Structure 1
């Protein structure tokens, strides 16, 4: 096809009823669109077929993961420019049945079919997983956790850096190092929990052991860390041994629902509760409440979505559900606080770290891009592309207040009413020494 880019640009704009804010560079080398804008690189006709068969976010994601689409130029700027067309407008006007009622749109669709070539739908990339029929059983949760976390510890070392902390850092300033910001986050959690030597800490979703090691080394507590990922557990145990902390830190491959050796003095749950699911959240909160001694504290660090007028109409993010966090569910902050209170907790403090997560994700993307060839060798090209798109898009989502992240400090307050909290509890607002 001569000048495929101009043809694609014209047809897509007819289909969407809006100008394309990015440049298109097509497989024949042609280009069309704003010359100074980032370019959407359409490497082959298969990319067009993917979008025709699955208009909207999932079709774009499949083309991106398969390498049929790419972005040339500033990734964040391109995603920002495309957000209104793909994410902010939702799926209305994405349904082919709706769109094809318009004669001009029908003509544009026929033109895209000609551009796409063979009408058969391409198979989804092998990195895509199907949503489980029965959500958040122990078996399906283990499958979902394995998909996300058992990518390879070497790959995560590239992304996360030496701290190996896979949750929002706590930045003293935007130009601080990622390692300093992650150290400060772990210390913030420890100070909110009020850790003292000899206490017993349960770290739910312990990841690669960073929180467990920090709490044991810096505060003298005994820690049990639980994860469903065998790769994480093996890595964490090796780190614990290297720090000489095997007498104080135990790492288990165990579902939080199977932990029965309470009571614990304190519990940390950092970036784990997003995997629990709405239907299981009260059970999750009740389990943690049961495992705490009276007066014990819980620090729940969790991503939140914005509430909707009609909560029954909320749909999970197609790209993240298919490629990143299978079966994951985000809840509004108010829902999380309510469920913790229903389980018997007294919520004492809520702190938003939304801007901190945008900074964290941008550093992770930079780490990934700095070792891109090695990352592709370790995880495979498709999985590396998943992580680059996911982290960049999430950085923008946090920065534009589409999602947030919050630390909720709660207490299992005894019946007599003493919470054990100081009168002026926010002493953790000061910078760590």
Structure 2
């Protein structure tokens, strides 16, 4: 007796072509209820033929991501298990940008799509894709402001639900996995203050100040006078409210300002926590030069940034994270960042790698998002919440696999007071 292949088996065939592998490590459920794949594998639900059409037009990460953001693909269970299985298969397991299908693979993929009735015009990208933010000269003030707005101006309530009360949007420092997110973020803020050697009355510049958490910590715990700058109007609005509620308006100033436009130095110390990823390769020398000029002789700068550890090839600028999460974001390797700082006249005092800490932080953020899903969707949009779930879960796995890292680099402008003889001064 002849049998007709199910939609799920056809989907498995198509996905195997995209991945460049024989067997997919997932269980697929198609729109007709059919299933295919290992019984114990993570489940992925494909609700619509349109998902396959997106993959046909944009084979690889971008097509799959668009289908997930629109809800045409769903991961109802453990998203980390599903992504770990996917990232271990075929082309996703290869270092560097996703290798596009060959002509022969595209023919096979088109045949599978025809059999499933999925062939048609290229569906419009989801509205969450950053198109406006990618216009104009890269890393001009206008384009940087648009890129920052795309990522950060999505609602302060949304970020509060994801980040928790600390409102710190960078890698925490964990004593152990059971520390808890808020305590780990407070430990990170305090570590930065100690590395900078903050004391009462010191004038501090916080570049990319976010919602003001570091500025508040430095002023409350160390008596510093802090100027925080951000390009996000929504961040600045909430940061100023938090400063006022803490009674620190005489010690903390929050500005909507590009770091390139800060002219009221010198500062005794500068913190740059999770900001230099927005600067870009071509501008990193100017970034260092600008901050060097704003520091007094002997002043310290702490640069806390994600690094690209997967070899010399940078990720595809048209992949998911540049298009949906961080338009124009560019990760430098640790070697490149240290070289830029030293080339800009800074003396390196300390380098601390925190890769494992960021994986723990991202998993905590995903937990917060999933625990507050309905409210997070209401505070932003369903598509935006799906973007954040996808990017944070995938990023956690990237840190766990060592593809990406995060480093705190402490440097000092020569002159003035000598640094401590041993790093135990700030441990």
- Asked if the contact 1:56/1:91 (under 8 Å) is kept, the reply is no
Partner of 2:103 in structure 1?
Answer: 97
Q: Distance in 2 between matches of 1:3 and 1:384?
A: 32
Q: Deviations over 1:117-168 (max 9, x none)?
A: 3421110001102334521000000000000000100000000000000000
Q: CA RMSD in A?
A: 1.7
Name the structure 2 match of 1:244. 247
Match of 1:103 in 2: none
Cα pair 1:93 1:99 within 8 Å, conserved: no
Residue 285 of structure 1, aligned match among 280, 285, 288 = 288
- 1:153 and 2:156 matched: yes
Q: Which residues in structure 2 correspond to 1:12-411 (within 5 Å)? A: 12-13=15-16, 16-84=20-88, 85=90, 87-89=92-94, 94-97=100-103, 99-100=105-106, 106-130=107-131, 131-306=134-309, 308-309=311-312, 311=313, 315-316=316-317, 318-411=319-412
User: What SS class does the counterpart of residue 206 from structure 1 fall into?
Assistant: coil
Residues 47-92 of structure 1 deviation map (CA, whole Å, 9 limit, x = unaligned): 0000000000000110011111111322111101100335333556
8 Å CA contact 2:8, 2:29 repeated in 1: yes
User: Counterparts of 1:194 and 1:243 in 2: how far apart (Å)?
Assistant: 23
Query: How far apart are 1:361 and its partner, in Å?
Result: 0.5
User: Equivalents in 1 of 2:418, 2:310: separation in Å?
Assistant: 32
Secondary structure of the 2:408 match is: strand
* 1:276–1:329 Cα contact (<8 Å) kept: yes
Cα displacement string for residues 335-378 of structure 1 (whole angstroms, at most 9, x for unaligned residues): 00000111110111000011100000000000000010111111
SS in 2 for 1:344: coil
* C-alpha distance in 1 between matches for 2:120 and 2:103: 17
Kindly state the Cα deviation for residue 107 of structure 1 after the two structures are TM-superposed.
4.2
Alpha-carbon distance in 1 for matches of 2:396, 2:209: 23
For normalisation by structure 2, the TM-score amounts to 0.94
**Offset from partner CA, 1:371-415 (integer Å, 9 cap, x none):** 10111111100000000010011111111111000000000012x
Query: Quick check: 2:97–2:316 contact (8 Å CA) kept in 1?
Result: no
Counterpart in 1 of 2:426?
Answer: 428
Q: CA deviation at 1:307?
A: 5.5
Residues 113, 119 of structure 2: 8 Å contact kept:
no
What SS class does the counterpart of residue 283 from structure 2 fall into? helix
Deviation at 1:171, TM superposition (A): 0.7
Q: 1:152 to 1:28 in 2, by over 3 A?
A: same
- Structure 1 CA distance, aligned partners of 2:17 and 2:65? 22
CA distance in 2, matches of 1:344, 1:216: 28
Deviations 1:231-287 (A, max 9, x none): 000100000000000000000000000000000000000000000000000000000
Moved more, 69-78 or 146-155: 69-78
Secondary structure (helix, strand or coil) at the match of 2:75 reads strand
Q: Greater shift after overlay, 109-118 or 46-55?
A: 109-118
Could you tell me whether the CA contact under 8 Å between 1:46 and 1:116 is conserved in 2? Answer: no
SS across alignment from 2:206: strand
Distance 1:17 1:247, change over 3 A: closer
What secondary structure is seen at the aligned counterpart in 1 of 2:426? helix
Uncovered stretches (5+) of structure 1, i.e. residues with no partner: 101-105
Alpha-carbon distance in 2 for matches of 1:179, 1:374: 20
Deviation at 1:116, TM superposition (A): 4.0
Secondary structure at 1:29's aligned position in 2?
coil
Change (3 A) 1:419 1:96: farther
SS in 1 for 2:9: helix
Deviation, structure 1 residue 96: 4.7
- Equivalent pairs, count: 419
Q: CA deviation at 1:420?
A: 2.0
Q: Is the 8 A contact 2:45 2:73 kept in 1?
A: yes
Give TM-score scaled by structure 1 length: 0.93
